[in-house]
Structure 1
Amino acid sequence: MLTHRQMLDRGAVSYGPRTALVDASGRRITYTDLDRMTDALAAGLLGAGARPGETSVWLSGNCLEYLIAYFATAKAGLAFSPLNYWLRPAELEGLVDLVAPSVVFAGREWTDVLDAMPAVGAARSRVVLGGAATGWTGWDEVLTGPGSLDGVPDDENALHEIVFTSGTTGASKGVMRSQRGRILDSVFSALAFEVRRSENLVFCGPQFHIGGASVPNQVLVQGGTATIVAFEPEVVGAAIAGGASYMIGVPAHYHLLFDSGVLEKIDTTRMRGCYVGGSVASKALFGSISDHFPAADLVQGYGSTESGPHTLALRGQDFLDHYGTLGLPVPGTEVRVVDPAEAARELPAGEIGELLVRSDSVMSGYFRRDDLTAAVLSADGWLRTGDLVSRDEQGFFTLAGRAKEMIISGGENVYPKEVEDVLSEHPAVAEVAVIGIPDPVYEERVLALVRRSGDATGTTGEELRQFVRARLAGFKTPKDVHFVDDFPRTGMGKIAKGELAQQYGTVFDA
């Protein structure tokens, strides 16, 4: 059985006094403590009325408590759904309504927002971190509350994770995964990325992403240490000075870390691996990583919330020999390159097609959206990624394009249609196209190209930016708004976004 209860029980026996988790304040939690605390929280949730098979949501900044809640909900038989704290209240409410949680975890700064949501009011338990709030139970109170795990099913195939991602339509989709899927992904990705049990892995990405659990689990399944911090150059620098040996970040993290100068007085020679996620970074950035961390391997991977997330991996000498590729499949992963219009037709090496993935860690589907699941996941388990790739004769994959038009800004996924739909609500906007353009720090930034309505000549780009900012998360808000008289068109009259990307891709370079 591959369950988190068994993983942590055995971890306590095998690695008891070793440090499992560290935070920015220096707080340390051993494997013995992690097992004990997650047992206690799980029992406290059940004692407060939660029942196996129900759901929970989490809304807070990065902290060790995230992983304690993650594992505790698994032990209690609850599904766990982390929410994006950058979303606006209306965006959050739609996700909360869909999950219909029995348990709500939140940092004190988010309790007022959540209190306005009927689905939160209907929850059996509301647990607050970092303060007190009327109608909410304190974290420590639940941790020490009455309850028992006796009789709770320990099912490796039961739903545990509901992690939200956005689709090409902008509609949020909850990706479902079992405990078995997560643990297998952790083991296989640790093998592929050569993450060892002696590792001190520093994680600074938002925990509401799939990586919030999948990345720390790579060391927690084998007795290593995960250092959990929120990204600030000084904080990450302190973690590196404290002995971190493996760093996970998107290109923006590395740019900001290097530009800050915090590494100038720090011994960086203990860093043995630097993973760059989010998208294919520039050669200049990889050179800068090698300059700042001379003993570290360069590491890169490919995946998605739906696929595991670890699907392809590249590290060390393979990275140097096959620079520009996405790497080889992670152990336990099957991959195919097929004709996008005819998925049954597999393509030979060298031809560009859609990447299909099958493994034990591929999602089981989209939460309460069987229609969307059927569109991407076949009955025999093959996931259509929507990404276009080619495979060379040695089996290494190269990304050719994103069939979904997704923009990656600072490691965050932005889907143009969602932003276009909001801008279209403004009376000054007659027509709009949103594209991603290169950015030296954030990989890509969002550009909105707007054709004004006839009587709106005085409307400014900043006015439109603020209009979006009030309705969508900041990372989705266009960094630039450019007004046009008309758009290039396809033969069917649609806006030709490919031409726009070529035309505007260098106009706004910093």
Structure 2
Amino acid sequence: MDATEPVLSSYDSGTSEVPLLGDTIGVNLDRTAARFPERDALVECVTGRRWSYREFVAAVDSLATGLLDAGIGKGDRVGIWAPNRAEWTITQYATAKVGAILVNINPAYRAHELQYVLNQSGIRMLVSAKSFKSSDYVAMADEVRGHCAALEQIVFLDSPEWEALADTRADPERLNGIRLSADDPINIQYTSGTTGFPKGATLSHHNILNNGFFVGELCGYTEADRVAIVPPFYHCFGMVMGNLASTSHGSAMVIPSEAFDPGTALAAVQAERCTSLYGVPTMFIAELDHPDFESFDLSSLRTGIMAGSPCPAEVMKQVIDRMGMREVAICYGMTETSPVSTQTRADDSLERRVSTVGRVGPHLEVKIIDPVTGLTVPCGEPGELCTRGYSVMLGYWEQDDKTAEVIDAARWMHTGDLAVMDRDGYVSITGRIKDMVIRGGENVYPREIEEFLYTHPDILDAQVIGVPDEKYGEELMAWVRLREGAPELTAEALREFCTGKLAHYKIPRYVRVVDEFPMTVTGKVRKVEMREQARKLLGLD
């Protein structure tokens, strides 16, 4: 940089000629259906069921009227505990129409977690699948039923009670008479809670409708698009970036299966001629590694979104080259910000898409601050990423103290993520503040080392963590998944591969080869759990 050139600060705001939407979710859906009544709204590949926008609104209005008949109204909490299926989506829009607050419940929860969420949010009605994978939802619901003061009704999908609720004769007059504000809370999503109980991020119509809309805008969605929504609906990736991005543009929501399976995802793209495919990096890795990958016709794909965790450069290149997703976007965000704060654009270079998470979204602000002083750092310097704007949650449900820990007096959401912004406003995530490894006084960012390990010919996936060390305070450990047929990889061999290419303090001391990483249901790697396991394995407790 020229010595006379002014130092730019790490702050950017997203300008747009497209205004924010002032609608509620229900009004926006009705508007879309009036424009595209006969186009596909929802397709469930497993059952072959499909709804046009006219049919979808009719199903939503029937369930919404059923909810009113059941005594559910504005501000009441309705829990949904189910995998990805059409009823989840219909319930999402029906609760929005009556002003009830939908509480997303993780399909992996066990009884004690279910009970906590039911009580913490005061759920009056629980809509639940009967079972999923090894989970018996009926038994768990029966176990907690008597311990939840607010819970009045449990309605299981595929039951006479559900049919009666969902098939109620729609009453447009009653539905149109409900007075709702776009700023009303409409959704509670519980963050993963890696320490202690999860917190309920409370989101409004305005939060999630606009976030879905602008994500779709940057993906170039129109009524001609068909979006394969692989991530779970209970998370923002599925219900906001998937469902709301689609319905705000007249695009089709395509549900490949109840839970992620690489084969069914690829088959759904082929059968439904999907133009967009969603997933976290581990999902794309599994799809690219599918033994029959070459037999699927993916020529309809144009775009898609990869988000949820950092995207390895090699994976992104293959997604573009082998899957034809030339306009694929990287999105970054968190549940508390509805979720997307930054996104790459369709015309961004490959380098931008593999090395950054894009630029700030329309009508949003981002800055990178020194975590100690709180001051915005110059471009190119690492710090904590903060975001502000329409997307920031209303707060954690009935936890003002926890809200105050992350949203400051100026309404900036402090993400806890380490990031760097370049002079053009592109943001690179370098890790979590708590994931940063300090080895012998040197700050080490695991993401940098993980990216390098992907260049090893035998490594399919890699994660780097810090483990305790008497001499250096922390030492590096690499967990790796190897390609099928690859020879055994020793710590010595990996260190030899790194020597001369990484600074000595960045070379992992320990290596563990695994078949899979500890993951959340949304496909995020649980580094907290990895560190716990590593300490026991290495005898470092």
When normalised by structure 1's length, the TM-score is 0.78
Compared CA separation, residues 274 and 13, structure 1 to 2 (3 A): closer
Compared CA separation, residues 178 and 150, structure 1 to 2 (3 A): same
Compared CA separation, residues 240 and 361, structure 1 to 2 (3 A): same
Partner residue of 1:177? 203
RCO higher in 1 or 2 (8 Å CA, sep ≥ 6)? Answer: 2
Partner residue of 1:506? none
Partner residue of 1:411? none
Partner residue of 2:27? 6
* Matched residue count: 433
**Which of 124, 127, 145 in structure 1 is aligned with 2:152?**
124
Compared CA separation, residues 336 and 294, structure 1 to 2 (3 A): same
Q: SS at 1:318's partner residue?
A: coil
Partner residue of 1:332? 363
Partner residue of 1:17? 38
Compared CA separation, residues 45 and 177, structure 1 to 2 (3 A): same
Task: Using the TM superposition, give the Cα deviation of residue 5 of structure 1 relative to its aligned residue in structure 2, in angstroms.
Answer: 1.7
Task: Using the TM superposition, give the Cα deviation of residue 173 of structure 1 relative to its aligned residue in structure 2, in angstroms.
Answer: 0.5
Task: Provide the C-alpha distance between the structure 2 equivalents of 1:26 and 1:434, rounded to a whole number of angstroms.
Answer: 52
Partner residue of 1:279? 309
CA contact (8 A) 2:119 2:149 kept: no
Give matches, 1:32-43, under 5 Å: 32-43=54-65
Compared CA separation, residues 321 and 288, structure 1 to 2 (3 A): closer
**Which of 252, 277, 282 in structure 2 is aligned with 1:225?**
252
Task: Provide the C-alpha distance between the structure 2 equivalents of 1:211 and 1:439, rounded to a whole number of angstroms.
Answer: 26
Partner residue of 2:113? 91
Give the gaps of 5 or more residues in structure 1: 409-413, 417-432, 443-467, 488-510
One-letter amino acid of the structure 2 residue matched with residue 140 of structure 1: E
Give matches, 1:50-449, under 5 Å: 50-109=72-131, 110-117=137-144, 118=146, 122-130=150-158, 132=159, 138-145=161-168, 148-149=174-175, 151-167=177-193, 169-215=195-241, 216-229=243-256, 230-242=259-271, 243-294=273-324, 296-322=326-352, 323-343=354-374, 345-405=375-435, 437-440=478-481
CA contact (8 A) 2:77 2:122 kept: yes
Task: Encode CA deviations 1:270-312: one digit per residue, 9 max, x unaligned.
Answer: 1111322122222221232233213533321110111221111
Q: SS at 1:175's partner residue?
A: strand
Q: SS at 1:172's partner residue?
A: coil
Task: Using the TM superposition, give the Cα deviation of residue 121 of structure 1 relative to its aligned residue in structure 2, in angstroms.
Answer: 7.5
One-letter amino acid of the structure 2 residue matched with residue 231 of structure 1: F
- Identity of paired residues, percent? 27
Task: Using the TM superposition, give the Cα deviation of residue 397 of structure 1 relative to its aligned residue in structure 2, in angstroms.
Answer: 0.9
Partner residue of 1:483? 537
Task: Provide the C-alpha distance between the structure 1 equivalents of 2:312 and 2:306, rounded to a whole number of angstroms.
Answer: 10
CA contact (8 A) 1:177 1:363 kept: yes
CA contact (8 A) 1:49 1:125 kept: no
One-letter amino acid of the structure 2 residue matched with residue 138 of structure 1: E
Task: Provide the C-alpha distance between the structure 2 equivalents of 1:285 and 1:179, rounded to a whole number of angstroms.
Answer: 34
Task: Provide the C-alpha distance between the structure 2 equivalents of 1:261 and 1:296, rounded to a whole number of angstroms.
Answer: 23
Task: Encode CA deviations 1:11-64: one digit per residue, 9 max, x unaligned.
Answer: 221111111111113221111112111111111111012232110111111101
| CA RMSD between the two structures | 3.1
Task: Provide the C-alpha distance between the structure 2 equivalents of 1:207 and 1:310, rounded to a whole number of angstroms.
Answer: 15
Task: Encode CA deviations 1:152-188: one digit per residue, 9 max, x unaligned.
Answer: 2222111101001035633300001111111111122
CA contact (8 A) 2:386 2:412 kept: yes
Compared CA separation, residues 308 and 438, structure 1 to 2 (3 A): farther
Task: Provide the C-alpha distance between the structure 1 equivalents of 2:538 and 2:42, rounded to a whole number of angstroms.
Answer: 52
Task: Using the TM superposition, give the Cα deviation of residue 6 of structure 1 relative to its aligned residue in structure 2, in angstroms.
Answer: 0.7
